[in-house]
Amino acid sequence: MNSLVILDLSFNDFDGGIPISFKHLCNLRSLDLTSVRLSQEVNEVLKILSECVSDGLELLSLSECELSGYLTDDLGRFRNFSFLDLSSNLISGPIPRSLKHFCNLKTLNLQNLKLNQGINEGLEILSGYDALESLYLYDSQLSAYLTDRLGHFRNLVTLDLDDNLISGPIPLSLGEMKSLRILKLSL
């Protein structure tokens, strides 16, 4: 199995933690475990994967895996992500600053988490992504007014900020987002 490049175990009835043997999948580029009941701390999973996989992994989907805990800067070890989905888990805490180093990231899905931070702080961390095309932060307990920081996302096609605690006027910088096709901002 060491030569595996793509591993898709999504929507299976597996449960229990991610096997420690996953740390030997050094050629893995895509790992989809969507809806597999891992019932682990998110950082345990990331630690196992970071042993060998972190340099090459481009797609990681851990949506609906019953993961818990806080996101830490250890996530920054995975610098080649183009797609990261951690949505609909029991993960809480702010977006880690190490995400700032994901220069190839095109899709980030952190919806339905308990991020518990100001929207502008979260957007500041993510604003350096020139490649980012889709950002899903639906129901992530983000709060405060939107600022002109939103205009930094010039290549964003989809932005979903639905069902958060965002208030105030819509920033003028929204008009600078020339690639934007889908915007969800309802409360």
pLDDT in tens, 156-166: 999 999 999 88
pLDDT at residue 187 greater than cutoff 70 = no
Which residue bears the tokens 């999504």?
10
Q: What percent of the chain has pLDDT over 90?
A: 53
What average pLDDT does the segment 14-22 reach? 89
Domains of the chain: 6-184 (3.80.10.10)
pTM: predicted TM-score of the whole model, two decimal places? 0.94
What average pLDDT does the segment 6-32 reach?
A: 92
* 25-51: average pLDDT: 93
Strand order in the sheet with 6-8: 6-8, 30-32, 59-61, 83-85, 107-109, 134-136, 158-160, 182-184
